[in-house]
Amino acid sequence: MSNHSVTIDTASCIGCGLCAGTCAAHNIEVKNGKAKTILEDCVLCGQCTAVCPREAVTISGYDAKPIAKKGTVRLDPDEVLDVIRFRRTVRQFQKKEIPQSVLEQILEAGSLTHTAKNMQDVSFVVLDKEKDTVEQMAVRIFKRLKPIADLFSPMARLNKIHKHFFFFQAPVVIVILAKEKTNGILAAQNMEFVAEAHGLGVLFSGFFTSSANLSRKIQKALQVPKGKKVAATLVLGYPGVKFLRSAQREKPDVKYM
Ligand SMILES: Cc1cc2nc3c(=O)[nH]c(=O)nc-3n(C[C@H](O)[C@H](O)[C@H](O)COP(=O)(O)O)c2cc1C
């Protein structure tokens, strides 16, 4: 991100100090009625550009300008809660392709998701042609581990490691890579929301994520860069199952102090 820097146009700046007030790094000061950055070093979170009433603050080096917010984006809390309540993991998929435009929107949701220190360390591997090959690599690992799991878990004994154990013949799998796992997981959750809004069903394949992080061979096949790991694996497709009601859950376990 070194090709970006915060620029303040002194002609348009009215010295209101809103940019300085939002800067979490305290890296902007207002002097003689004009805002200016203190250090070059910056996490480039962009809050200063987002808050400026005069578009005086910009960050150089991006292809696109910030998008002006029209009106207020309002979500109905009950509807949001229902999206969460009625979301179910999908493991049965229709043999129907996902349009590229939908896929791109899901990926955009992932890359727009906030990251710690604005690291923007999250990247995506969309498995299409290579899906079966990497799935079979994971199948081989799990087949080797299964006898050990069977010793301790009756549930493991009940389950076979079949050849679609990880991806359930879904049309698309997105492997999310990140330096900080939390960043990748947050991206995954937002991607799931957008996928659901498009009528897709989603499975978080934790088993594939574990296999990939165990296996150099899978990491090589996925071209995982040095310093990154697999944070989450999203298995996506149009659902081949319809859920009719919510699933029961424990009440919130909360302590007020
Ligand atoms: C991080 C994570 C990893 C998961 N990994 C798998 C997996 O590898 N295979 C699988 O069949 N389900 C997996 N699941 C699905 C959970 O089993 C499922 O969310 C849970 O049983 C609750 O069901 P629901 O999602 O329908 O509410 C995973 C879920 C999460 C959140």
Looking at ligand 1, which atom is closest to the CA of residue 210?
A: 8
Tokens representing residue 43 in the block: 């996490």
- In terms of pLDDT, which residue wins out, 13 or 40? 13
| 217-254 per-position pLDDT tens digit | 999 999 999 999 999 999 999 999 999 999 999 999 99
Judge whether 49 and 40 are in contact, CB under 8 Å.
no
Q: Which CATH number fits domain 77-237: 3.90.1150.10, 3.40.50.150, 3.40.109.10, 3.40.50.300?
A: 3.40.109.10
pLDDT band at 2 (very low <50, low <70, confident <90, very high): low
| Residue with CA at minimum distance from ligand 1 atom 16 | 89
Looking at ligand 1, which atom is closest to the CA of residue 247?
A: 27
Question: How many whole angstroms separate alpha carbon 8 and alpha carbon 56?
Answer: 6
Arch. (CATH architecture) of 6-59: 2-Layer Sandwich (3.30)
| Residue with CA at minimum distance from ligand 1 atom 28 | 204
DSSP output for 163-215: TTTTTTT-SEEEEEEESSHHHHHHHHHHHHHHHHHTT-EEEE-HHHHHHHHH-
Pocket of ligand 1 (CB under 6 A): 88-89, 91, 203-207, 247
Task: Give span(s): CATH 3.30.70.20, the chain.
Answer: 6-59
The rounded percent of the chain whose pLDDT value lies above 90 is: 94
Kindly state the average pLDDT of the residues 163-182: 98
Probe residue for ligand 1, chosen from 85, 87, 89 as the CB with the greatest number of ligand atoms within 8 Å: 89
Quote the mean pLDDT of the chain.
Answer: 96
Task: Give span(s): CATH 3.40.109.10, the chain.
Answer: 77-237
Kindly state the average pLDDT of the residues 72-98: 95
